[in-house]
């Protein structure tokens, strides 16, 4: 992967930041994209101080104008984008009866529309060059119903199928499009769902009240676990894999 250029969204923290670190550690020049300008600069400065080729490009993936502008800026400064990771995501919790239109629209704006806008902008350029790889970070909730997560699960299901349809269309141009579906991962997003000391225990053991299985491997994923899967699907080791979902959830969805 050395010498390639990657664009990673949701790069300021969590899984996205770890993907950036791993790619840069393999000699990839990485454009780190996130709408949190302050945290993005803090994250990229730390990586750059370690000698890694990472540059910040603040942008909101839910804005078509900002997406087109940032892709143009990245390619103008770093060269053609070879690898795209759609890692930006938001979570709005609540039962369907309690979700507001803003909750729904905000969730889909980032988790689904953002994937569409960024993929469209980058893959259009990849198509003209005849090659590339895309990975969308979705969720195991895309295929398994979850209480109080209807908006999130639906948005990730839509992003998953969009990515696979894109992969079908782009295959003739040598472009691979895959999905990584994490389960519970130790990130600020997961911790925001824990309100007391029972949170981690319920995640590991499951909950009959919410019809949720626990995690057979009895541990929460680390961001490294998920980033490893993303980087694998971007690499030449996955050169014959496309339109695939790689689930990284410790068995929480029983391989279904």
Catalytic residues: 152
d(CA 37, CA 40): 5
Do residues 156 and 142 lie in contact, with contact meaning Cβ atoms separated by under 8 Å?
yes
3-state secondary structure of 46: helix
Q: Which residue has the tokens 């540059």?
A: 55
Q: Which residue has the tokens 């400064």?
A: 77
Half-sphere exposure of residue 148, counting CA atoms within 13 Å on the CB side? 9
Long-range contacts of 106-110 (CB under 8 A, 24+ apart): 107/151, 107/152, 107/155, 108/151, 108/154, 108/155, 108/158, 109/62, 110/61, 110/62
d(CA 23, CA 3): 11
Q: Which of 154, 137, 159, 144 is nearest to 94 (CA)?
A: 154
Do residues 34 and 66 lie in contact, with contact meaning Cβ atoms separated by under 8 Å?
no
3-state secondary structure of 245: strand
Q: Sort residue 106 into left (φ over 0), alpha (ψ -120 to 50) or beta.
A: alpha
Two structure tokens written together for 181: 């579906």
């Amino acid at each position: 992967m050395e010498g390639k250029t990657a664009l990673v969204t949701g790069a300021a923290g969590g899984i996205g930041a770890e993907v950036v670190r791993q790619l840069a550690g393999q000699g990839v020049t990485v454009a780190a994209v996130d709408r949190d300008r302050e945290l993005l600069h803090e994250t990229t400065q730390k990586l750059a101080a370690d000698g890694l080729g990472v540059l910040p490009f603040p942008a909101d993936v839910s804005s078509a104008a900002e997406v087109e502008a940032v892709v143009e800026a990245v390619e103008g400064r770093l060269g053609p984008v070879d690898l795209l990771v759609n890692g930006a995501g938001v979570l709005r919790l609540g039962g369907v009866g309690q979700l507001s239109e803003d909750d729904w629209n905000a969730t889909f704006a980032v988790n689904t529309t953002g994937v569409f806008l960024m993929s469209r902008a980058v893959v259009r350029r990849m198509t003209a060059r005849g090659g590339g790889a895309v990975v969308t970070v979705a969720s195991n909730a895309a295929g398994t119903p979850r209480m109080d997560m209807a908006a999130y699960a639906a948005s990730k299901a839509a992003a998953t199928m969009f990515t696979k349809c894109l992969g079908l269309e782009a295959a003739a141009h040598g472009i691979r499009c895959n999905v990584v579906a994490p389960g519970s991962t130790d990130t600020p997003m997961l911790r925001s769902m824990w309100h007391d000391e029972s949170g981690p225990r319920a995640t590991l053991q499951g909950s009959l009240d919410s019809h949720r299985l626990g995690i057979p491997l009895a541990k929460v994923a680390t961001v490294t676990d998920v980033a490893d899967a993303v980087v694998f699907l971007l690499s030449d080791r996955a050169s014959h894999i496309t339109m695939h979902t790689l689930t990284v959830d410790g068995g929480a969805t029983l391989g279904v």
